[in-house]
Structure 1
Amino acid sequence: MVREHQQELQKQLWNIANTLRGNMSADDFRDYILGLIFYKYLSDKLNTYCDNLLAEDGIKFVESDDELIKELHEECVENLGYFVAPNQLFSSLAKRGQKNEFILDELSRVLNDIEQSTTSADSADDFNGLFEELELNSSKLGKNPDSRNKLISQVLVHLENIDFQIENTEIDLLGDAYEYLIGQFASGAGKKAGEFYTPQQVSKILAKLVSIDGNVKSVYDPTCGSGSLLLRVAREVGSHNLEFSGQEQNPSTYNLARMNMLMHGVRYDKFDIKNDDTLENPMHLDQRFDAVVANPPFSANWSANELLLNDERFADYGRLAPKTKADFAFVLHMVHQLNQNGTLAVVVPHGILFRGAAEGHIRKHLIEKKNYLDAVIGLPAGIFFGTSIPTCILVFKKNRTHSEDVLFIDGSNHFEKGKAQNHLRDEDVDRIIEAYAKREPIEKFAHVADLSEIAENDYNLNIPRYVDTFEEEEPVDLDAVATDLTELETKMHSVDADIAGFCAELKIKAPF
Structure 2
Amino acid sequence: MTATPNQQDSINAAVWNACDTFRGTVDPSIYKDYVLTMLFLKYISDVWQDHYDRYKAEHGDHPELIEELLKNERFVLPRSANFNTLHEARHQPGNGERIDKALHAIEEANLSKLRDVFQDISFNSTKLGDEAQKNDILRHLLEDFAKPELNLRESRVGTLDVIGNAYEFLIKNFASTSGKKAGEFYTPPEVSQLMARLMDPQEGDEICDPSCGSGSLLMKCGQLIRARAGSRKYALYGQEAIGSTWALAKMNMFLHAEDNHRIEWGDTLRNPKLLDGKGLLKHFDIVVANPPFSLEKWGHETAADDPYKRFRRGVPPRTKADYAFILHMVETMKPGTGRMAVVVPHGVLFRGAAEGKIRQKLIEENLLDVVIGLPEKLFYGTGIPAAILVLRKKKIDENVLFIDASRDYQDGKNQNVLRAQDLDRIEQTVRARQSVDKYAYVASPAEIAENDFNLNIPRYVDTFEEAEAIDLKAVREERLKLKAELAVLEEKMTGYLKELGYE
Shorter-chain TM-score above 0.5 = yes
- Secondary structure of the 1:341 match is coil
Q: In 2, Cα distance between the equivalents of 1:166 and 1:492?
A: 75
Residue of structure 2 equivalent to 1:88? 81
* Equivalent position of 2:411 in the other structure: 417
Contact 1:374 1:395 in 2 (8 A): yes
- Pair 1:115–1:354, CA change in 2 (3 A): same
SS of 2:436's equivalent in the other structure is coil
1:380 equivalenced with 2:375 (yes/no): yes
Cα shift at 1:102: 5.7
The counterpart of 2:115, out of the listed 127, 152, 170, is 127
Identify which range, 488-497 or 299-308, moves more after superposition.
488-497
Shift in alpha-carbon separation, 1:308–1:50, aligned structure 2, 3 A: farther
Q: 1:220 maps to which residue?
A: 208
Report the Cα offset of residue 151 of structure 1. Answer: 2.6
- CA-to-partner distance for each residue in 1:467-497, whole Å, 9 max, x for gaps? 1111111133333334444444555555666
Q: How do 1:299-338 and structure 2 match up within 5 A?
A: 299-301=294-296, 302-305=298-301, 308-317=304-313, 319-338=314-333
Change (3 A) 1:451 1:91: same
Residue 29 to residue 204, structure 1, CA distance change in 2 (3 Å): same
Moved more, 431-440 or 490-499: 490-499
Q: Does 1:109 align with 2:101?
A: yes
Residue 137 of structure 2 is matched in structure 1 by 151
- Of 24, 28, 39, 2:41 maps to 39
Deviation at 1:385, TM superposition (A): 0.8
- 1:469 aligned onto 2:490: no
Q: After alignment, is 425-434 or 348-357 more displaced?
A: 348-357
Does residue 437 (structure 1) correspond to residue 438 (structure 2)? The answer is no
Residue in 1 that maps onto 2:258: 266
Match of 2:347 in 1: 351
User: Cα offset for 1:14?
Assistant: 4.6
Return closer, same or farther for 1:261/1:458 CA change in 2, 3 Å cut-off. same
Aligned position for 2:174: 185
Distance 1:137 1:464, change over 3 A: same
Aligned in 2, Cα 1:104/1:215: closer, same or farther, shift over 3 Å? closer
Q: 1:304 to 1:181 in 2, by over 3 A?
A: same
* Residues 399 and 385 (structure 1), Cα distance of their counterparts in 2 relative to 1, 3 Å cut: same
Q: Does 1:138 align with 2:126?
A: yes
Distance in 2, matches of 1:392 and 1:309, equals 30
Deviations 1:135-192 (CA, angstroms, capped at 9, x unpaired):
34434x4x54333323322222232322323577342211221112111211122133
Change (3 A) 1:59 1:195: same
Alpha-carbon offset, residue 36 of structure 1:
0.2
Alpha-carbon distance in structure 1 between the residues aligned to 2:209 and 2:186: 13
User: CA 1:497–1:16 in 2, change beyond 3 Å: closer, same or farther?
Assistant: farther
The 1:303/1:310 distance shift into structure 2, 3 A limit, reads closer
Match of 1:362 in 2: 358
One-letter amino acid matched to 1:163: N
- CA, structure 1 residues 185+488, in 2 after alignment: closer, same or farther (shift >3 Å)? farther
Q: TM-score, normalised by structure 1?
A: 0.86
Q: Structure 2: 5+ residue runs without aligned partners? A: 277-281
Shift of 1:100: 6.9
Q: Within 1, Cα distance between the matches of 2:482 and 2:18? A: 56
Looking at structure 2, the residues matched to 243 and 59 of structure 1 have their Cα atoms a distance apart, in angstroms, of: 40
Contact 1:100 1:150 survives alignment (8 Å) = no
**Aligned counterpart for 1:292 among listed residues 287, 291, 295:** 287
Aligned partners of 1:100, 1:427: CA distance in 2, in Å?
54
Contact 2:8/2:162, CA 8 A, preserved across alignment: no
Judging changes above 3 Å, is the alpha-carbon distance between structure 1 residues 247 and 279 closer, same or farther for their aligned structure 2 residues?
same
Q: Distance in 2 between matches of 1:181 and 1:18?
A: 10
- Aligned-pair distance for 1:258? 0.7
| 1:130 and 1:259 in contact (8 A); partners too | no
In structure 2, distance between residues paired with 1:500 and 1:111: 88
Q: Which residue of 1 aligns with 2:279?
A: none
Deviations 1:185-212 (A, max 9, x none): 1112213321110111111111101116
Q: Distance in 2 between matches of 1:211 and 1:195?
A: 25
Contact 2:286 2:333 in 1 (8 A): yes
Contact 1:13/1:181, CA 8 A, preserved across alignment: no
Going from structure 1 to structure 2, the CA distance change for 1:218 and 1:407 (only over 3 Å counts) comes to same
Distance in 2 between the 1:22 and 1:506 partners?
A: 67
**Aligned residue for 2:23?**
22
How many matched pairs?
A: 487
* Amino acid corresponding to residue 355 of structure 2 in structure 1: E
Q: Deviations over 1:304-352 (max 9, x none)?
A: 12553453342541x1111111111101101111112122010111111
Sequence identity of aligned pairs in percent?
39
CA RMSD of aligned residues (A): 2.9
Say if 2:502 is the partner of 1:480: no
Question: Are the structure 2 counterparts of residues 472 and 193 from structure 1 closer, same or farther at C-alpha, using a change threshold of 3 Å?
Answer: same
Counterpart amino acid of 2:60?
G
Q: Unaligned regions of 5+ residues in structure 1, if any?
A: none
- Secondary structure at 1:289's aligned position in 2? coil
Is residue 187 of structure 2 the alignment partner of residue 198 of structure 1?
yes
- Within 1, Cα distance between the matches of 2:80 and 2:492? 87
Tell me the SS of whatever aligns to 2:304. Answer: helix
Cα distance change, pair 217–146 in 1 and its aligned pair in 2 (3 A): same
Confirm or deny that 1:450 pairs with 2:450.
Answer: no
Shift of 1:40: 1.3
Deviation at 1:28, TM superposition (A): 2.6
CA distance in 2, matches of 1:134, 1:494: 82
Residues 180-189 or 18-27, more deviating = 18-27
